Amino acid sequence: MENYIVSARKYRPSTFRSVIGQRALTTTLLNAIASNKLAHAYLFCGPRGVGKTTCARIFAKTINCLTPTAEGEACNQCESCVAFNENRSYNIHELDAASNNSVEDIRSLIDQVRIPPQIGRYKVYIIDEVHMLSQAAFNAFLKTLEEPPKHAIFILATTEKHKILPTILSRCQIYDFSRITIKDIVDHLEYVAQQEGVTTEPEALNVLAQKADGGMRDALSIFDQAVSFTGGNVTYKAVIENLNVLDYEYYFRLTDYILTGNVTDSLLVMNEILAKGFDGHNIITGLASHFRDLLLCKDPRTAVMFEVGASMRQRYVDMAAKCSNEFLYKAIELVNDADLKYRASKNKRLLIDLTLIMLCQLSLPQTAGEDQKKKREIAPLNPVASAAPAQAASNQPTSPANTPPAPRTVTAPNIAPRPGSTTNKPKAPALGGTNGLGGVSLSAITNGNKEEKEEVYVQVEAMNETFTPIQLINEWKAFAEALTEEHHLKNTMLNCLPALLNNTTFEVVVNNPMQEQRLVDHGVDILSNLRHKLRNTNIQMQIRVSEDNEKKLAFTPQEKFKLMAEENNALSLLKDEFGLELS
């Protein structure tokens, strides 16, 4: 029985020309060999299965070839090439750093470097997975890597370049290998299939190439697996069954149901997919890729980024024509959000179902008219009284543009805060006017065209206790410190302290109109709290923007002492008696 050789080894490139998908790198190496400008150390880095070790072996064979071809390739006929092809060449040494990563292994390698080659001009040392070397092994290797003998060339290969020490990187010429494109993988698989007498379908090879994720070795391994499963007839259905890949047909069915807003059938299709054993997360990510591919097919310029067969491409183009750009943008956003939440979700099936329901709602007509939306409006306490100030203001002449704006006065009804209420709840509008009984009546809510009214009466005791500027500032700060969500309001109140103008009115000077508007928006809550804490229902607040727009401290030490002395004359006597000075 003849020994079977897997395709990844049987069709491994033996010349630079046969290397797939790395044209720029192979051309550079060929030119370096032709001009005899060889570096003493190379670093080949890139994903797995893209040809790093293969190119290192081809490079080692080519530079030792005794009779190279006109194109600069190895002849495969001289003694050096024959010895290399038969795996008995003493000029090429391979070291697997994953299992030989100690200092002793590197020192043994350094001892071998001193021996010149018997045939050919160079001894090449290929160290695979070099990032696995220990710190001590790297340090022992540094000096030899920087100044090796003239006959020694080192080729380091790794999939994780970021783990290599900078001192190693600086001593090497670095070649970054790229992932192999789907088209190149498909073309190579077709060539292998022809050589092996295997019949294939383009869609099947495309699935194999996508599954390989840019690695030719993985693609050939999966190809061998598919050939064994199908017995030499690689079809699309056989491939998706063998590799447990979700059929495109399911994504197209889901898209059709989503576009028509059919929630029931969408959930049934999803249940059918899950019943086949597919993981929910893979379905979510596959649906996201499907919508992304549809978006690419909306424009011929981006359609080239979608690498599939011609028949499948046309189907995507036809489906993309049915989807609007806005729908695809929102669909991708929804599915991507579900992808991010999937791992943390405790009910993953519910998350998938909710995502499908929201996707189906994207295609439903949106009601943009304001008359179709239910609104809740709070009517003013006294429409006549509230309209009068507005009318009076409209009759006054407008002030010139250079006249500074007048302070804005914030008033609030005499409503004591309810027990347990917080300052972070939605704010009520500025309400004006109290009735003659010392209370406030609130008329309620208009909902659509149906008007319902409800009377709420709050009895408030009239209070008129005196308070000091220090008490006002303390209560002002206490209110600000209690804020947990309104951070901007909190900072504004702590930076802009009130100044008492008379017994019941205080002024707040802010630095900009945004701070002014912030205090106006929350003025009802602020005044209600201050009235309750200071036990004075006549407190009013005025807000104005600083004319010079400079941030000023509300109180200097001298001003603070002056206020304290007004409350207690003994402080002034104490200061004068002992000759004290403020620092």
pLDDT tens string 196-208 = 899 998 888 888 8
CB of 181 closer than 8 Å to CB of 308: no
pLDDT at 331 exceeding the cut of 90: yes
For position 437, what pLDDT does the model report? Answer: 33
The whole-chain average pLDDT of the chain stands at 80
What percent of the chain is modeled with pLDDT above 70? 80
pLDDT at 266 exceeding the cut of 60: yes
Determine phi and psi for 378, rounding to 5 degrees: -95, 120
Residue ranges of domains in the chain: 7-176, 182-242, 248-362, 469-566
Least reliable range by pLDDT among 337-351, 521-535, 562-576: 562-576
Highest mean predicted confidence (pLDDT) among 158-172, 396-410, 545-559: 158-172
For position 189, what pLDDT does the model report? Answer: 92
d(CA 480, CA 423): 10
For position 399, what pLDDT does the model report? Answer: 43
CB of 273 closer than 8 Å to CB of 356: no
For position 548, what pLDDT does the model report? Answer: 61
Q: Give the class (CATH, top level) of 182-242.
A: mainly alpha
Classify domain 469-566 at the CATH topology level: GMP Synthetase; Chain A, domain 3 (3.30.300)
For position 558, what pLDDT does the model report? Answer: 76
Query: Band of the pLDDT at 386, cuts 50, 70, 90?
Result: very low
For position 188, what pLDDT does the model report? Answer: 92
pLDDT at 345 exceeding the cut of 70: yes
pLDDT at 456 exceeding the cut of 90: no
d(CA 249, CA 561): 82
pLDDT at 220 exceeding the cut of 80: yes
Report the DSSP pairing between strands 233-234 and 199-200.
Answer: parallel
For position 365, what pLDDT does the model report? Answer: 66
For position 76, what pLDDT does the model report? Answer: 86
Query: Band of the pLDDT at 583, cuts 50, 70, 90?
Result: low
For position 424, what pLDDT does the model report? Answer: 43
Amino acid (one-letter) located at 537: T
For position 376, what pLDDT does the model report? Answer: 40
pLDDT at 500 exceeding the cut of 90: no
For position 408, what pLDDT does the model report? Answer: 67
Residue 54: is it exposed, middle or buried by C-beta count within 10 angstroms (0-12/13-18/19+)? buried
For position 388, what pLDDT does the model report? Answer: 42
For position 555, what pLDDT does the model report? Answer: 52
Residue 195: is it exposed, middle or buried by C-beta count within 10 angstroms (0-12/13-18/19+)? exposed
What's the mean pLDDT in 7-28?
Answer: 90
Q: Give the class (CATH, top level) of 7-176.
A: alpha beta
* DSSP-H helix ranges across 48-124: 52-63, 79-85, 103-113
- Residues contacting 487, CB < 8 A, separation 6+: none
For position 88, what pLDDT does the model report? Answer: 85
What's the mean pLDDT in 362-378?
Answer: 51
Query: Band of the pLDDT at 237, cuts 50, 70, 90?
Result: confident
Query: Band of the pLDDT at 270, cuts 50, 70, 90?
Result: very high
d(CA 261, CA 357): 8
CB of 414 closer than 8 Å to CB of 432: no
- Tell me the CATH number for domain 248-362: 1.20.272.10
Model confidence pLDDT, tens digit, residues 43-58: 999 999 999 999 999 9
Query: Band of the pLDDT at 311, cuts 50, 70, 90?
Result: low
Determine phi and psi for 432, rounding to 5 degrees: -130, 145
Model confidence pLDDT, tens digit, residues 460-485: 567 888 888 888 888 988 888 888 87
What's the mean pLDDT in 446-472?
Answer: 61
For position 206, what pLDDT does the model report? Answer: 87
pLDDT at 530 exceeding the cut of 50: yes
For position 240, what pLDDT does the model report? Answer: 85
CB of 427 closer than 8 Å to CB of 385: no
pLDDT at 394 exceeding the cut of 50: no
pLDDT at 251 exceeding the cut of 80: yes
What's the mean pLDDT in 430-455?
Answer: 38
d(CA 521, CA 492): 13
The residue ranking higher by pLDDT, 116 or 447, is 116
pLDDT at 372 exceeding the cut of 70: no
Query: Band of the pLDDT at 458, cuts 50, 70, 90?
Result: very low
